[in-house]
Amino acid sequence: MNLETVVASIRNVPDFPKPGILFKDITTAMKDAEVLKFIADNLYEYYKDKGITKVVGVESRGFVLGSILAYKLNAGFVLLRKPGKLPAETFKIDYDLEYGTDSLEIHKDSIEPDDVVLLHDDLLATGGSANAALSLLNNFTHNGIYVSFLIELGFLNGIDRLKGAKDIHSLIKF
């Protein structure tokens, strides 16, 4: 197993969710146990010595690898969700997407000030949702926030919007 095999396992879906967008579908990678293990193990290796105490997964595809990373890192897992999905008191942030607008919410009691946080999402495109998530998480901790992606679409320069991150790591870059 190697990174080239992982890249080959990701399906390209043209014109989804709207015309002109080439969607990177990771479900074809996740369904293969060996590919999933390779991805999880490689992300874990990068973060294992950083003292992470909470992993925050962005709805919804960030939940899969985020929860695996939390387990492997012996850290708690926190959900960053679309509005109205969390039952207790939340912080909320609105942001622009490359094809519309959206919002994210997090429980107000999910992260302590001394937590070391890893924010994980499946893909970095223009950086809208990642920047919003980073801004939201900065309300909780002063330890800096690590940011992790399975895929980065480098040609969209989304990483430029994440100046406040302690460290940004993408396993795959297109």
Give all domains of the chain, ordered by start, each with its CATH number: 50-173 (3.40.50.2020)
Name, in order, each residue with C-beta under 8 angstroms of 60's C-beta and a sequence gap of 6 or more: none
Q: What is the mean pLDDT of residues 54-81?
A: 96
Name residue 95's amino acid: Y
Q: Is 61 a catalytic residue?
A: yes
Does 99 have pLDDT greater than 70?
A: no
Task: Return the number of other C-beta atoms located less than 10 Å from residue 4's C-beta.
Answer: 8
Catalytic-labelled residue, pool 59, 81, 98, 105: 98
Catalytic-labelled residue, pool 45, 61, 81, 105: 61
Model pLDDT for residues 7-55, shown as the tens digit of each residue: 999 999 999 988 998 999 999 999 999 999 999 999 999 999 999 999 9
At 127, which helix (H) or strand (E)?
A: none
The verdict on pTM exceeding 0.85 is yes
Q: Any idea which residue has 């399906």 for tokens?
A: 11
Query: What's the mean pLDDT when you consider all of the chain?
Result: 95
Q: Any idea which residue has 């010595």 for tokens?
A: 49
User: Model confidence at 118, in pLDDT bands (50, 70, 90)?
Assistant: very high
> What's the distance, Cα to Cα, between the start and end of the chain in Å?
19
Q: Is 4 a catalytic residue?
A: no
Does 158 have pLDDT greater than 90?
A: yes
Does 1 have pLDDT greater than 90?
A: yes
